[in-house]
Structure 1
């Protein structure tokens, strides 16, 4: 049986709630398609550096997992995000600001 997927808007709302409960500042930079828009998570560590994560399907493990799309100086990461927006106008972009580098993407329910 195929794996059921949450609508993107529902997942984003739940993720933002989880971040808020952990006192991790986050906001939606770009609102994508509520049903099927891909979600990118940008982690800004407030030191001039950032990382963007995207979900990918891992064929070897037959599951979805978070992978680094871009990492480095924030302006370079923002340029990578701009390119992605050009490819996919239905894209969601969530930005997290956390000096400790927390995203919670490795937690149960978010990691797969």
Structure 2
């Protein structure tokens, strides 16, 4: 069983702060099952955008928790803004979370 989006986001933000870094909810989506996009800001000014991984990335034998994929890797903020604007038009119930960490470590699972 997958955690509600609201609970997942809350736990993610708490874990980032515990690590001494910064996180914020930029857009609050549907509490139950809104898609979550994570915007990672890096020290050198570039960003990484993570979005929900497609169903084909899930292993049927494992717990299907939240799994993300890299949508954009080390690009400028404007490119991320454009991509997120497109996502919000497609899915107005999505969440956008910003984290400022150099290494995401084990904060969330990424496919591939």
**Please, what TM-score do these two structures have when normalized by structure 2?**
0.81
Choose the corresponding residue for 2:99, options 75, 96, 100.
96
Write out per-residue CA displacement over residues 35-77 of structure 1, whole angstroms, 9 at most, x where no aligned residue: 0101010001143311110121344733563211123111111
Q: Counterparts of 1:10 and 1:61 in 2: how far apart (Å)?
A: 23
Is 1:58–1:65's contact at 8 Å kept on the other side of the alignment? no
Q: Counterparts of 2:86 and 2:48 in 1: how far apart (Å)?
A: 15
**Structure 1 runs of 4+ with >4 Å offset:** none
The total of aligned residue pairs comes to: 104
Q: Counterparts of 1:19 and 1:9 in 2: how far apart (Å)?
A: 16
Which residue matches 2:40?
Answer: 43
Which residue matches 1:67?
Answer: 69
C-alpha spacing 1:60/1:30, structure 2 compared with 1 (3 Å)? closer
Is 1:8–1:36's contact at 8 Å kept on the other side of the alignment? yes
Which residue matches 1:9?
Answer: 6
Q: Counterparts of 1:37 and 1:8 in 2: how far apart (Å)?
A: 6
